[in-house]
Chain A
């Protein structure tokens, strides 16, 4: 008889063996010898955590109770694996290119990295998995009892809790040690996966050993076993069709959605090629696991006393037949099933809880940014470890409270339905670009709520929902009865809950997705997920670590400059204690480098650049958007610079023009000074000469005296006129002139001006239109006449045509009175046009007529009169336009 102590010793030896396997695997992975760890068979065997203690013990119990229903739990996953080309291939590709760490991460990444959604999935996963963990603790505890007191199935509660507590403690310790050994961004756990693969072999071997013993040892061969089955109470196919189909689909859904399955299927996946092997090997594994279930159940029902727990036939049948060694092997098989499930589930859940709940809260309270520095890594590890302990503790609490009364299979199915609520959001997310965050959130919450209400709470026991609610619905609303929603009764409670939760989940998901509008990040992620095979150029390597320091050096030199980069690398190498000039690319160095780089190119770009060289990981959408933001800022900045430089060059051009004008003015002024001194000197010379003659020549005749005196007089008048002009201009410029407003006809003003200007003898023909000139004016007529005289005199002086001719055109409109003076000469050159109105300006020295003050004075006069005078381009000859405001003219009438 095996004592409990021997059993515990066997157990501890087995656990120590697992520790050793995990440890060796970790060491090999660290040394880079990962080839045998990455074998497709290891991947396939790690998937076997689908087969938990529920399978190992519960399948036989289920077969003994309800026939072939247990098969559906394996048919669904087999179909999913065989159909890997549809869904799993895509999920694995997405998981690798998007660095997905959990099912919550997948959903949140797809729907615009929404943390709220991740929290929802995490809560759902924790609630759905806790009973499952409790189930494993229960099965291990039960199996211990079989050896402690054979035949007695209900020992005192205290001892039971005690066993469960120790099991939970041991599992949590193992998980913490190997599940959070290092914070690898890849979330790979080589040690754990290897241990699980070993456990998979152990449980398959154990179950098959028991099966072979039952078939060939007890029943006498395959044919006899089949005959025995037909003769037993399971002899005929009695299966409810709805449950057969429903449970097959449910198990297929759960296979994809269970956090622990997602962990081994997607997160721990090293190579898409492994799926090819698993596609046939895993269905084969499942087939072998379920092959001997019915024979064991039938033989157990035959051999064991009525009332024995059929869930434990796998153990009790060999024990009853005296096969203690086989019983211990079987016990280890069950133990392996339970432990591997709890370990992976705890790792998967702790990743979710830590990443989506604990870390966001911690970051918010510490006010730390998103930058991952050394101490943050430490915090992440701590939060993972606490989460693992918390998850296992939660399972233990659930186990203690529920007392472990329910049949194993029921708890498992309740859990399946809960977790399957993630399926619509998951499949919709990878196949339908129109799926939105709002839709996913709505569907999840709806399905989760219905599951809680119709299945989970009723399954806990009578305490959770009052009896009245169960039988009559809440507040007496019969159509809201938890197990007969909308008045549809007679359904199996599980199928009822599955039907309603999934139907409403999908409806809300699709409905809200159709009516809401996704954010840009969501749409980007959606396109990346759905078209993953178009976007990702093959799987990216996860094996980071092997960073090329030289590549980093080249990049850093490009950004920081050669000398600075070399100095930085040397400093880091010294700090690390390395001998060469190149430091090891450890996280500390990369962080420093990234910070240095971000000073030059911005944080997001630096992160992406270092990430690309070091990890070979894909640049996330967030990175890209941050880069885009930075580029947008740069572009805006450069646009501003461009605008400023435009303005500068405009100003410079103006300054250059002004300078040119000043230079020309200065030249003109010099010329004018020469001219004016000449103008002043000529009359002064003649005055002096003739006054000397008058003084020194006594014998002059009266006629001569009179002639000389009149010459002196004329010259004096010329001087006076010149000085008058200068004075006049000065007065006008200083605004000291008083206008002498009078009324008069424009024609008369022009007549007077023409007469005054044309008295010099040189003939200038003036063409006028007297009818157009009959306009009454109120203005300073003398000043206006002065302007006209100046213009006509200019034409007379400068028009170089053979028969000079001046056309005076008068036009008026509502606002303005316009008088154009156009002659038929060569006109004024373009370069001189902006000069002619300046003081002392003269177009050329061609005809030394005046002092160059006429047009300057005219302009000042017109400004005083409220009008203007301008050169009129576009005519063959010189053309001037005098403009007067009509208002002043109208007021005269």
Chain B
């Protein structure tokens, strides 16, 4: 499910390969990795927020509500902070075609 998944298989394959070089300049490389981070962030969030599924529902081993709230809101704050940091780097300049890759 990437932006170029379809075009990579389709007719656009050949020109695309010509257009984008195999190895990128250092800056472009860094920008690509930040995009990767932006893609990874929601996956990380989903994983962290799935942790409560592991918590026991039985009364004796149950997690206390204060701990649960602290954990969930803590993840929330970290995600928002990480998104803020990424948004500083994901400037307008990255919109050129092929940035999906």
Interface residues of A (CB under 8 A from B): 67-68, 71, 75, 78-86, 90, 226-227, 229-230, 232, 234-241, 244-245, 248, 272-273, 276-277, 279-281, 283-284, 286-287, 291, 294, 431-433, 530-531, 533-534, 537-539
Contacts and interface: CB of A to CB of B under 8 A. Distances in A.
Contact of A237 (B12, B62, B100): B62
Interface of B: 1, 3-7, 10, 12, 35, 38-39, 41-43, 45-46, 49-50, 52-53, 55, 57, 59, 62-70, 72-73, 76-77, 79-84, 86-87, 90, 92, 95, 97-100
B65 A280 contact: no
A85 B38 CA distance: 6
B25 to A, nearest CB: 20
A431 B99 contact: no
A771 to B, nearest CB: 74
Given A229-B69, A283-B80, A294-B69, A236 B50 contact: no
Given A75-B72, A237-B55, 11 more contacts: A79-B45, A82-B41, A236-B62, A236-B64, A236-B65, A244-B52, A245-B50, A287-B77, A531-B12, A533-B4, A533-B100
A78 B69 contact: no
Contact of B63 (A81, A237, A279, A537): A237
Nearest to B9: A433
23 contacts: A68-B69, A75-B76, A83-B39, A84-B38, A85-B90, A90-B3, A226-B70, A230-B65, A232-B65, A237-B57, A237-B67, A239-B55, A241-B52, A241-B57, A272-B92, A273-B92, A286-B76, A287-B77, A291-B73, A431-B5, A433-B6, A531-B3, A531-B4
A229 B66 contact: yes
A82 B95 contact: no
Nearest to A287: B76
A75 B45 CA distance: 9
Nearest to B67: A237
Nearest to A537: B97
Contacts of B68: 68, 237
Contact of B45 (A82, A286, A294): A82
Given A78-B79, A433-B10, A86 B57 contact: no
A67 B35 CA distance: 37
B59 A79 contact: no
Nearest to B15: A534
B75 to A, nearest CB: 9
Nearest to A530: B6
Contact of B87 (A244, A272, A279, A432): A279
Contacts of A287: 73, 76-77, 80
B63 to A, nearest CB: 4
B29 to A, nearest CB: 17
Nearest to A67: B65
A354 B72 CA distance: 43
Given A79-B45, A236-B64, A248-B49, A531 B80 contact: no
B62 A280 contact: no
A245 B53 CA distance: 8
Given A82-B42, A85-B39, A534-B12, A239 B52 contact: yes
B77 A86 contact: no
A294 B70 CA distance: 12
Nearest to B89: A276
Contacts of B77: 287
A294 B50 CA distance: 20
A605 B82 CA distance: 49
Contact of A533 (B1, B80, B98): B98
Nearest to B101: A533
Contacts of A273: 92
Q: Chain B: interface secondary structure?
A: helix
Nearest to B3: A533
Contact of A238 (B62, B76, B83, B99): B62
Name the residue among A280, A284, A539 with the largest chain B CB count within 10 angstroms: A280
Nearest to B57: A238
A227 B70 CA distance: 12
B98 A294 contact: no
Contacts of B38: 83-85
A80 B46 CA distance: 10
A83 B44 CA distance: 10
B6 A531 contact: yes
B65 A79 contact: no
B30 to A, nearest CB: 16
Contacts of A67: 65
Given A79-B45, A531-B6, A284 B64 contact: no
Contacts of A78: 45, 76, 79-80
> Which 5 residue pairs are nearest across A and B when measured between Cβ atoms?
A83-B42, A280-B83, A280-B84, A226-B66, A236-B62
A227 B66 contact: yes
Nearest to B100: A533
Contact of A283 (B64, B76, B98): B76
B79 A239 contact: no
B83 A279 contact: yes
Nearest to B70: A226
Contacts of B80: 78, 82, 280-281, 283-284, 287
Contacts of A237: 52, 55, 57, 62-65, 67-68
Nearest to A225: B66
Nearest to B1: A431
B46 A276 contact: no
A241 B58 CA distance: 13
Contacts of B86: 279
Given A90-B3, A294-B69, A82 B50 contact: no
A80 B42 contact: yes
Given A229-B69, A287-B77, A431-B5, A75 B49 contact: yes
Contacts of A86: 1, 39, 42
Contacts of A433: 6, 10
A854 B27 CA distance: 98
A283 B62 contact: no
Contacts of B3: 90, 531, 533
Contacts of B43: 83
Contact of B59 (A229, A234, A236): A236
A236 B42 contact: no
Given A229-B65, A234-B65, A280-B81, A272 B95 contact: yes
Contacts of B82: 82
Nearest to A235: B65
Contacts of A281: 80
A251 B94 CA distance: 30
Contacts of A227: 66
A699 to B, nearest CB: 116
Contacts of B92: 272-273
A793 B64 CA distance: 133
Contacts of B100: 533
Nearest to A83: B42
